[in-house]
Amino acid sequence: MRRGVVVLDRDGTINVERHYLADPAQVELLAGAAEGLRHLRDLGMELIVVTNQSGVGRGYFTGDTLTAIHARLVECLAAEGVELGGIYVCPHVPADGCRCRKPGPGLLEEAGRERGFEPREAFVIGDKASDIELGRRAGSTTLLVRTGYGAEVAGAGDVTADHVVADLREAARVIEGLIGADEAIGAGVPRSARNAT
């Protein structure tokens, strides 16, 4: 059976929000993040990170520094028994008008092509409006975490996620319930199926 896919934001979702994280030494996993990611792994999910990193385009740090930050993130996750299927990055500033900057679909589509999944079948998790909008545009199941900027975004009430959860631990429990209800462990729940109920 084909594995399901969870597409995750990085800052404020997996690791502590640093406002333009520019130092690998400052990579710190959020409390409960590794536990939630292990739970998703145990459900047969592949974990993909999709992240806007305009700090590169703004000149705050280099592409080499970003590579080192991601190497550190992978190291921290590996120490907790978590492996990522890929990290997809948009380095552009908003004024560039690229397709890869969330909520644009470019990175999600690229990940789908490379990893062999349909974006609409993925679960998209993040703490910002752009994460949820990305998922909604793709027809994915969306989960807003209250970590990072998530509590502020949820409180503003102008973002409609399918589920609002405390953190990645709760996100994993919700996804377990959804795939169990769909009787298809390892597969996402298409929006059309949700709307039919």
70-93 per-position pLDDT tens digit:
999 999 999 999 999 999 999 999
pTM of this prediction? Answer: 0.90
DSSP 3: P
- Taking Cα atoms as reference points, which of 88, 71, 95, 57 lies closest to residue 23? 71
Average pLDDT over residues 60-68: 97
Q: What percentage of the chain has pLDDT greater than the value 90?
A: 88
pLDDT at 158: 87
Give the CATH class of 4-192. alpha beta
What rounded mean pLDDT belongs to the chain?
A: 92
Instruction: Look up 167 and say whether it is catalytic.
Output: no
Using the predicted structure, report yes or no on whether residue 187 has a pLDDT greater than 70. no
87-139 per-position pLDDT tens digit:
999 999 999 999 999 999 999 999 999 999 999 999 999 999 999 999 999 99
CA–CA separation, 55 and 37 (whole Å): 26
Which member of 9, 131, 162, 167 is catalytic?
Answer: 9
CA–CA separation, 73 and 177 (whole Å): 28
Does residue 140 contact residue 121 with C-beta atoms inside 8 Å? yes
Q: What are phi and psi of 71, to 5 degrees?
A: -60, -40
Instruction: Look up 127 and say whether it is catalytic.
Output: no
In the chain, where the domains are located: 4-192
pLDDT at 183: 52
**Alpha-carbon radius of gyration of the chain:** 16
Which member of 11, 127, 162, 167 is catalytic?
Answer: 11
